[in-house]
């Protein structure tokens, strides 16, 4: 027998030849289709991202490793036999009850989409990655070639066929997919009465053949719209906000790690109005210096009185507007505040007045989660006054990048919140007494303490006064 048909060893780990791997994959896929009478979830997800961590196919190793510099290094692809699973005997009976489908491999998926479209009509959730294939060395580095774009368009057409075959699709999540976007969104209009949740991940509008999101305004029942790690041009986004009359009223808008002009963000918020309950903003700050960024938090306060969850990057100039937001949004239960990258380690802002006013006006009385991921400074007595007067039912607290949090602050937390606080993440450059840390560990169910080492350079404090 030739050496190729035997297992070889590298760094004490068995590495099987491709032929053996394909035989095993084929046999496993056939076994599942033959013996599984009913599947509700099919996940071919070898990614390492957190967006669908509850759905990961944990029997597979990730196709990417992370090097010491945080870069993704290609490791292995999903065997082709897994992507032919819907063509094996028994697939009609096994896959017909399917309600959730996740496929984030960067292998060729059009055969899988095509086969499933004639079997699966009960899908409620679809999440797919439509980026370039693993074999394309230029994918993600430069514009796709014409043959590659044609191949992605063909894959998008087969995904569109799968979408149209569904009776009542509720949730659709699309990673990348810049090529063929119009084809996919046109197919989604077939689900206009049932679609409630749409999420776009890792979109870059600088890539060629971008379509428009205009079709989304037809989804009058849409409640959740998310853009995760996307570069959003005005050309792409304007159709969403150009209608004189809003066709949908969103309850959740998320733009995590995404960039968009403030004018677009403002209009989305205004159109959603009192329906909006959860808002996560990315970098909405206008780099050209337009004053429109200063209106976003005030716009939220004016149009969204029922807001429950708020997370945003907040620049130093926007801090005074937080008091307006907290005053006119009394339903807030979760608040996460982050700093823009350009302000990192520049100025430590004094926000004693903000805590003083929140306590005096008894604001945020329903607050259950608070995260301040910025080097803002406040005194223990200001924190105490807020916690005593507003008496928020805080269960989760995070103070990251803190230059001020000391033993006295921790005493206030333990005295005012005690065992009611279930989770406390603290990162501070101040030394905390060992005995106080022991008390916190004994009192708080999940207490995570880490020292914070500021970047090189002296810290500057800026006292901000309410205007």
Task: Quick: pLDDT tens for 442-455.
Answer: 999 999 998 866 65
Residues 220 and 312 in one domain: yes
- The answer to whether residue 4 sits within a structural domain is no
- Please give the residue that has the higher pLDDT: either 240 or 199: 199
Residues 393 and 315 in one domain: no
Q: If you average pLDDT over each of 40-54, 134-148, 346-360, which comes out highest?
A: 346-360
Which residue among 343, 364, 389 closes a domain? 343
- The answer to whether residue 137 sits within a structural domain is no
Q: Are 419 and 443 in contact (CB under 8 A)?
A: yes
- Per the structure, the complete domain to which residue 445 belongs is given by 373-467
- The answer to whether residue 57 sits within a structural domain is no
Residues 232 and 323 in one domain: yes
Is the confidence at residue 182, as pLDDT, over 80? Answer: yes
Residues 229 and 314 in one domain: yes
- Please give the residue that has the higher pLDDT: either 132 or 463: 132
Q: Write down the pLDDT at residue 14.
A: 44
Is the confidence at residue 252, as pLDDT, over 70? Answer: yes
Residues 234 and 329 in one domain: yes
Residues 316 and 380 in one domain: no
Q: How far is CA 40 from the centre of its chain?
A: 24
Residues 465 and 414 in one domain: yes
Residues 329 and 435 in one domain: no
Residues 222 and 336 in one domain: yes
- Please give the residue that has the higher pLDDT: either 117 or 317: 117
Residues 282 and 222 in one domain: yes
pLDDT band at 46 (very low <50, low <70, confident <90, very high): low
- The answer to whether residue 436 sits within a structural domain is yes
- Please give the residue that has the higher pLDDT: either 228 or 20: 228
- The answer to whether residue 314 sits within a structural domain is yes
- The answer to whether residue 466 sits within a structural domain is yes
Domain count, the chain: 2
- The answer to whether residue 156 sits within a structural domain is no
Is the confidence at residue 380, as pLDDT, over 70? Answer: yes
Q: Are 440 and 465 in contact (CB under 8 A)?
A: no
Q: What does the block give as tokens for 2? A: 């030739």
Which CATH number do you get for residue 249?
Answer: 3.80.10.10
What is the rounded CA–CA span in Å between residue 166 and residue 148?
A: 28
- Please give the residue that has the higher pLDDT: either 230 or 344: 230
Using CA atoms, how far residue 5 sits from 1, 17, 23, 78, in Å, is: 7, 7, 12, 21
- The answer to whether residue 111 sits within a structural domain is no
Residues 218 and 339 in one domain: yes
pLDDT band at 207 (very low <50, low <70, confident <90, very high): low
Residues 408 and 456 in one domain: yes
> Of 88-92, 343-347, 378-382, 416-420, which gets the smallest average pLDDT?
343-347
pLDDT band at 4 (very low <50, low <70, confident <90, very high): very low
């Amino acid at each position: 027998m030739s050496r190729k048909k035997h297992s070889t060893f590298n760094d004490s780990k068995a590495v099987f030849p491709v032929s053996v791997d394909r035989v095993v994959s084929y046999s496993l896929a056939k076994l599942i289709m033959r013996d599984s009478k009913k599947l509700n979830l099919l996940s071919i997800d070898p990614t390492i991202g957190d967006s669908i961590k509850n759905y990961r196919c944990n029997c597979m190793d990730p196709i990417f490793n992370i090097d010491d510099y945080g870069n993704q290094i290609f490791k292995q692809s999903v065997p082709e036999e897994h992507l032919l699973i819907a063509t094996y005997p028994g697939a009609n009976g096994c896959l017909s009850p399917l309600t959730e489908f996740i496929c984030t491999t960067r292998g060729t998926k059009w055969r899988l989409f095509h086969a499933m479209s004639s079997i699966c009509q009960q899908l409620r959730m679809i999440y797919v990655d439509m980026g370039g294939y693993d074999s394309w060395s230029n994918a993600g580095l430069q514009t796709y070639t014409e043959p590659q774009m044609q191949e992605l368009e063909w894959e998008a057409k087969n995904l569109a066929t799968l979408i149209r075959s569904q009776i009542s699709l509720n949730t659709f999540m699309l990673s990348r997919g810049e090529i063929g976007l119009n084809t996919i969104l046109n197919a989604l209009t077939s689900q206009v009465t049932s679609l409630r949740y749409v999420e776009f991940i890792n979109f870059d509008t600088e890539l060629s053949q971008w379509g428009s999101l205009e079709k989304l305004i037809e989804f009058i029942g849409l409640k959740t719209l998310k853009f995760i790690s996307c570069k959003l041009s005005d050309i792409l986004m304007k159709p969403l906000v150009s209608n004189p009359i809003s066709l949908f009223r969103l309850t959740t808008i998320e733009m995590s790690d995404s960039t968009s002009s403030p004018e677009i963000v403002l209009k989305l918020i205004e159109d959603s109005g009192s329906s909006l309950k959860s808002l996560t903003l990315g970098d909405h700050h206008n780099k050209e210096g337009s004053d429109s960024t200063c209106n976003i938090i005030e716009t939220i306060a004016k149009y969204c009185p029922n807001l429950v969850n708020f997370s945003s990057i907040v620049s130093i100039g926007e801090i005074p507007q937080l008091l307006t937001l907290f005053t006119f949004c009394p339903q807030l239960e979760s608040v996460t505040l982050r700093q823009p990258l350009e302000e990192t380690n520049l100025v430590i802002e004094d926000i004693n007045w903000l805590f003083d006013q929140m306590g005096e006006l008894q604001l945020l009385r329903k607050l259950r989660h608070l995260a301040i991921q910025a080097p803002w400074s406040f005194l223990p007595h200001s924190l105490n006054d807020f916690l005593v007067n507003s008496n928020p039912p805080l269960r989760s607290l995070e103070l990251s990048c803190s230059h001020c949090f000391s033993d006295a602050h921790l005493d206030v937390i333990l005295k005012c919140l005690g065992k009611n606080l279930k989770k406390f993440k603290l990162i501070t450059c101040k030394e905390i007494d060992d005995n106080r840390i022991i008390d916190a560990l004994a009192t708080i169910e999940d207490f995570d303490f880490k020292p914070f080492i500021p970047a090189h350079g002296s810290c500057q404090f800026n006292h901000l006064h309410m205007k």
